[in-house]
Every structure is written in C-alpha cells, then in structure tokens.
Amino acid sequence: MLTSKLVKRLAVFALVPLLTITACLGSEVLPEGGNPIPTPREGELVDALPDSQAAATPEETFTRYMRDSIAATVAVQQTKINMRGRYQEPGQTLDDLSGLVSEIAVLEDRTEITSPKDTAANAKVDLDVRVMYADGDSQTFTCKYGVSMQMSANAKGDNVWYVINPDAFPLFVSCTRS
C-alpha cells in the first residue's frame, strides 16, 4: 500500500513537469490566456482526409482497423491525462491515474472473419488484451464484439472493404477482466 502510493506520487511528479514542458514547447500563450489555434506547417493540408485504409481483403481491412481503433482509444486517454496534468490539482491527478489507459497490447487474437455474401463480411472479434494504466498497473481483458464490413469501389475504381460505423476500440464497453 505504502509502496503503491509512493510509486503513484513519483509518477505524478515525473508526469506533471513532462506535460508542462511538452505543452509549452513551441506554442505561444495569448495575453488573455489559452493557446492559439495551431498554425498549419508549410505544405500541410488542413482538413484533408487521410488516405483510406480500406484494403482488398476483409482480413487486411480489419487488421488495419483494429490497430487504428486501439490507437484512437489510447489517444483519447492520453488527452485526458494531458488535460488533467495541465488543469487539475496534482493530488487529484495522482488519484485519477489508476483509471487512465496509457497502452493497450493485443496478447491473443482469436477473431474469425466470415463472408456470408460476396460484398459483406463480419468479424467476430475475440481478443485478449493487456491494458497498462498511467499509474503503472496493468490488467488483462477479454474483448468480444462484432465488426461489419462491406465491399465497394473506391475513388480509383478498385473494390475494397470498408468498415461499417468505425469507432475507437470499445475497451470499456465490450471487454471483461480476465
């Protein structure tokens, strides 16, 4: 118990300065407070759509989608950590670290993909993942849910598989502690 509290305190003391330095580097603070909207870099297309990750097979589309959906979930959690580090009382931030995800690693993937029709596919997701929390603790979860895909022609005229209603990885909805 004492060791856990000490580790948490050390984590916050290391995390808060790091977040503060990161937040201050290269950004200007306005006189009335807050940060300005970032200026696009030369050659950067603001609001441009990213390249499609839809692939020629449902398996490849699903693999790319799973990687991106896990990354999206971790990014949301990182934003929460950053915001709390910047604006929350440090003691409360320390207490909150135990529920904030810093990493998700797939341990075992038992997902099955079926194509009941030529233009439709379903992924019956069945994964074991290890979740690392910002306080250094970790837990293993089993996640089960469905992902539907459909085949359609892209802008180049190639048939590719798209995910229907893509979203971030449903860690807090479709996963149970192992």
pTM of the predicted model as reported, rounded to 2 decimal places = 0.70
Whether the pLDDT of residue 77 is over 80: the answer is yes
Whether the pLDDT of residue 85 is over 50: the answer is yes
Higher pLDDT, 20 or 141: 141
What secondary structure, in 3-state letters, does 37-85 show? CCCCCCCCCCCCCCCCCCECCHHHHHHHHHHHHHHHHHHHHHHHHHHHH
Judged by average pLDDT, the poorest of 19-23, 92-96, 112-116 is 19-23
pLDDT at 43: 52
